[in-house]
Amino acid sequence: MASNKNPLTKAEVIEAAISCIERFGVAKTSMTDVARVLGVTRQTVHRLFETRNELIEAVADVRIEKLARELARDFARFSTTEEAIVEGTLLSLAVGRTDPILVEIQEQANHAVDQYMFRGSPKVQAVMLDIWGPVFDRARDAGHLRDGMNADQAVEWIRNVHAMLNMRSDYGDEQQREMLAKFVLPSLLKE
């Protein structure tokens, strides 16, 4: 329980929310459940997160950030921009599917959280820029990135592609590779 000496932090609330999601699932986790785990009132939780959706988005941000740290190491092995875009996308999707909480958030999301998964957040954009930015910076330096495009725009497009492919569970790796090669590579890179 938070005291006046040690005020409740957003990180503590997020950890409590993760605990509740693991126990009850996303759909059944309420702000009251989170408050109960923390030993505080629901109003105390609401001071840090105005809505349940905002809290669920914060949980997703934390999980995405954790996965991104794992992915950053793997991106160093890609030797070309094309390989990084195609194989990096497949790897990113596979890693994202290993986090049960993130998967459940995506599966159980209401419309507002669903929109968050598509539009992302400044935090998700920054995390993805850490991973993908060097790929697009190297492509730009080598003269391969399309004119007028910067790393931030390219990462936003990749994020949108990830969201779309994440919804297409009927696509296998080869279908995804083909789509990425035919449509995504030409949209980002010069011929």
**What CATH code is carried by the domain that includes residue 4?**
1.10.10.60
Residue 55 located in a structural domain: no
At 76 the pLDDT is 83
Measured CA to CA, the distance from residue 131 to residue 142 in angstroms comes to 18
What pLDDT score was predicted for residue 87? 95
Residue stretches of the chain with pLDDT short of 70: 1-6, 109-120
* Residue 120 sits in the same domain as residue 156: yes
Number of domains within the chain = 2
124 and 69 share a domain?
Answer: yes
pLDDT digits (tens, 9 = 90+) for 122-156: 888 888 899 999 999 999 999 999 999 999 999 98
Q: Same structural domain for residues 96 and 179?
A: yes
Is 97 part of any domain? yes
Residues 177 and 112 in one domain: yes
| Shared-domain flag, residues 46 and 76 | no
Res 120: pLDDT: 64
Cα distances (Å, whole numbers) of residue 145 to 30, 82, 116, 159, 174: 45, 11, 28, 17, 24
In sign, the C-alpha dihedral spanning 36, 63, 128, 90 is negative
Same domain (yes/no): 94, 121: yes
Residues 95 and 28 grouped into a single domain = no
Residue 118 to residue 114: CA distance in whole angstroms: 7
Q: Which domain holds residue 169?
A: 61-188
- Is 90 part of a structural domain of the chain? yes
Do 23 and 86 lie in a common domain? no
pLDDT (tens digit, 9 = 90+) per residue, 61-80? 899 888 888 888 888 889 89
Does 34 map to a domain?
Answer: yes
**Same domain, yes or no, for 46 and 65?**
no
Residue 3: predicted pLDDT: 46
Do residue 81 and residue 141 come from a single domain? yes
Cβ distance 180 to 87 under 8 Å? no
pTM, full prediction? 0.79
